[in-house]
Structure 1
């Protein structure tokens, strides 16, 4: 029988069961087309009631990881059916991706979205809104030697550009992607102070383009910055095939 992690009953037990099952599926413990073990032994293995397990499986179905059908049971779905923007799914994908290909893809999508928002911000920002962006940039300048403060100002700059674009859907998706990336230890690595200086220069280019009302230049600068920033911090020895299918 498949060895599953036991869980101690707690207030958010259902959440823990969902996260454990997502992890098993994303890690490849179950292949697309496989079925989960029957409800009774699975609930015993997790140490939860069948009601809790049944609700947890419903959450998996909502995330696109499984389908539940009469006669076949709970069947694992191919990755094209998964909700990749779901927090639990995306966190597990990143955690199990040996090649860092998921973070590569995440960076490309985020860069495209923020590039489009930078274009919109450049064409519609007001003087007072530009002052807010200038304040974030100035905070970056004065905190080059203070990594936590510099990184916080960096995030504020990006969030300000996104908010000023007034594109709420793009902002929500990009913000979620950025948050999941920053939660990964393989993305949020320590970088030399010299890298901060390069990052600052790239933000200055973005700001100058927005201040000048140049949508094309703002979009291009934002796209290049996000892709280049990940390239600088990406570990060079992570190569190979993605573990998540």
Structure 2
């Protein structure tokens, strides 16, 4: 039996149950255990179980109807933009395939965001990109500097500088997936200085208003990551 601390029981159960659903522990045919069984398995009250069920329903993973019990929803209905759902997927076994889909989405958004930042980004927003890019360069020379945080800040700063509110609304989603993606792709490239320089070139293009160059450089950056992920998928398939 899994037992949680009293604090945030529903959130903790939501996390554990969400991971289990995404990992395929429960089948659509069998569905989830009953409320009483979940109470017993997780050692929590029916109230906490019902709150967790509501949270998972809002994320599209399950549905609960009178006299039908708790039913699993197909993956097509999951809210992929929910950062918890994305994190559970990235922690499950097919994480590389999820990363590939994430990179495909980045290719559709980030190059255009970089171009918009070059065209319309205000000085404060562009300076934030430059600050993150400089921290990446600093990290190449000093391991004490947090490269990961600087890299995440770089990409989310571009979304902000684009001036497109829809793009900026994706910042948490992008940060969640990038946090995993970078852990795969950065060691593969190996040269931290080269990675930092590639990012700094994008910043320079944005700062100088070169929209097409910023777009192309960002496309190249993501394409490199895509090539690596596809190679890793191929290895695991053989």
Same fold, TM-score > 0.5, yes or no:
yes
SS of aligned partner of 2:157: helix
Q: What is residue 166 of structure 1 aligned with on the other side?
A: 163
**Counterparts of 1:96-245 in structure 2 under 5 Å?**
96-98=92-94, 100-126=96-122, 129-147=125-143, 149=145, 151=147, 152-182=149-179, 184=180, 187-188=182-183, 191=187, 195-229=191-225, 231=227, 236=232, 239-240=236-237
CA deviation string 1:37-73 (max 9, x = no partner): 2211221221111111111111111111111122321
For the structure 1 residues 19 and 118, does the alpha-carbon distance in structure 2 shift closer, same or farther, using more than 3 Å as the test?
same
Equivalenced residue count is: 235
Preserved contact between residue 209 and residue 218 of structure 1 (Cα < 8 Å): yes
**Distance between the aligned counterparts of 2:224 and 2:189, measured in 1?**
16
The unaligned stretches of length 5 or more in structure 1 are: none
**Distance between the aligned counterparts of 1:47 and 1:128, measured in 2?**
50
The unaligned stretches of length 5 or more in structure 2 are: none
Q: Give TM-score, length-normalised by structure 2.
A: 0.83
**RMSD of aligned residue pairs (Cα, Å):** 2.9
Preserved contact between residue 120 and residue 163 of structure 2 (Cα < 8 Å): no
For the structure 1 residues 158 and 30, does the alpha-carbon distance in structure 2 shift closer, same or farther, using more than 3 Å as the test?
same
SS of aligned partner of 1:236: helix
Preserved contact between residue 61 and residue 68 of structure 1 (Cα < 8 Å): yes
CA deviation string 1:198-245 (max 9, x = no partner): 21332233123223423222112112213324655888375239xxxx
